[in-house]
Structures are given as C-alpha cells and as structure tokens.
Amino acid sequence: MTACIFCEIVGGKAACSAVYEDETCLVFMDIHPVNAGHLLVVPKVHATDLSDLPPETGGKMFQVAQKMTAALTNSGIRCEGVDLLMAHKSAAGQEVFHAHLHVIPRYQGDGFQFDASYDYKPSRDDLDQTAAKIKRSL
C-alpha cells in the first residue's frame, strides 16, 4: 500500500498550512489552488472515498465547510461565492484517495468552470426510469 499524503499531514509527518482543526477534521490550504483561499477539509480517519466515509464524519465535514465559507467571506480574501466539491473515484476527478472536501472561494470572472457539453437531454420518461433505478438501489 502506498502512503497517503493526507494521513501523513493529519499525523504531522508532512507539512501543511493549517486553518482549522477539531476532533474529526483538519482544514488546510490546497497546494494547487483554484483561487487564493482554496481549502481542503480532510477527515482525520482515513476513508478512501465517499463510499468509505462514515456518515457522521461526512456530516461533520460539511459543517466545517460552512464555517470555512463564513471565514472566507469575512477574511478580506476575494470571495464573492464558494463552491464545495468532493470528487468520488478517479472517473470524477479524484486524485488523492483520502476523502476530502474542497472549499473554493469564487468571484466573477475567475475562470474556474466545470467544462461540460450538456448534450444529454433526457425525456421525462427517461428521468422517471432513472429515478426508479436509483430508488430500487436505496
């Protein structure tokens, strides 16, 4: 098994620019930020992705993200809005396989965007069938 950089950061074996810490999460600056103030909310317990994350830990991560959003808004850093992003598995863009939540300060014209074609235009019947499949798997 390869070493997990986020476990190393949480364990104090790798450097980070920490912003906040509690019993569940550590928040630190992203070293490849979209904009100044881009934060990562990382659970202290290793969870590979969202399916491996205990629900109470995931809930706590979003509570911390709310706190970080307020802090960013009041910090003087350019922040007209915030995106929260959690990638689940490599097909969704996950690169570090320790669940984490990006808190990204946004402003008009910052250039960050999700590049999608939006060519898929399902009918109501398609949406209903897809919804039924998801409901059956709950």
Q: Which domain holds residue 105?
A: 5-136
Alpha-carbon distances of 41 from 12, 58, 122, 129, rounded to whole Å: 16, 10, 35, 35
For the chain, percent of residues with pLDDT exceeding 90: 92
> CATH number for the domain including 132?
3.30.428.10
Q: Considering the chain, what is the average pLDDT of its residues?
A: 96
Residue 102 appears among annotated catalytic residues: no
Query: Quick one: pLDDT at residue 118?
Result: 84
Q: Count up the domains in the chain and report the number.
A: 1
Band of the pLDDT at 34, cuts 50, 70, 90? Answer: very high
Tokens read off for 39: 């934060």
Which member of 32, 46, 98, 100 is catalytic? 100
Specify the pLDDT at position 115: 82
> Can you give the C-alpha Rg of the chain in angstroms?
17
Q: How confident is the model at residue 37 (pLDDT cuts 50, 70, 90)?
A: very high
Asked if 25 and 41 count as a contact pair (C-beta separation under 8 A), the reply is yes
Distance of CA 27 to the CA centre of its chain: 11
Residue 1 pLDDT greater than 60, yes or no: no
With a cut of 60, say whether residue 136 has pLDDT above it.
Answer: yes
Name the pairing type of β-strands 81-85 and 25-29.
unpaired
Residues 62-112 pLDDT 10s: 999 999 999 999 999 999 999 999 999 999 999 999 999 999 999 999 999
